[in-house]
Structure 1
Amino acid sequence: MKRYIIISYDGANLSASEVMAIASQLNTVKPDVTDVHASTMDEEEVSSIIIRHAEAKNATELSVVESACIYVKKRFGKFFGSKMKLLLALSEAITNEPNNESLMNAIKVISGGISKRMRDSYGVSTDVIYVFKTVQDNM
């Protein structure tokens, strides 16, 4: 079974050789490690991958909901203060990316409603949920 290590940092992008230099250190720590693959991603890409694969791994509802909250907060959080701007941003995203599974899954999850703890943690108000539900109903 493949194993994954996620390392996050603030700073400039790393080159491919720098990333591979970090990955090669695994053999120093654990000599029996083979087939090491490394790549760089930004936070949005990581969130997108988590959402895309969450259901395939029989994840709990909480992890799917939390992944959706992370995704929408990162992608649409700046519009949470205005229902109209959020509606326009969501509509534009759907129009421009009709095959984006991460976006569609996040809309489906958020429109179904989320717990108060998740709403408080990620700043997803009932108004935001209402906008997502409106968009979902019109798709």
Structure 2
Amino acid sequence: MLTKHLKTDKVQRLIYGIGLILWIFIWVNDLSFIFNASVFGIYLWQVIIPALLLIGQLIFNNKTLWTILIVYVSLYSLWFIWNIVVTDILIDIQRDYLPRAFWTFEKILNWIIMLTVLGFTNWIIWKIKPIAKIKTK
């Protein structure tokens, strides 16, 4: 029943608008770094392109932009998970004789929370695929 409501144009645009507001809210503290020439390329891929995709989907809500957005979010999620796993494994391997445990409850809880948020975000974007409008003559 929930997915039926996600197929309406107004709900989809509302979700994209909420996503855009959350995305800007997350990165607002880093605005001074975003426009720094040395790191602009990194922020271009992580902040500006997703914001532009969300704005485009908020305005047009079409399948082409949705496809680009779902591919981008999926690749970003895989990249994010890969970097966390590789970084944590490398830290654990390189920590020669450190008596403190690396795999703590808090670390595992943070992983579960991040994976849940990524999974939910991917699921929502997948479910709000725009429906082609039928043109009547």
Structure with more contact order per residue of length (Cα contacts < 8 Å, sep ≥ 6): 2
**TM-score, length-normalised on structure 1?**
0.31
Q: Which of these two proteins has the greater Rg computed from alpha carbons? A: 2
**TM-score, length-normalised on structure 2?**
0.31
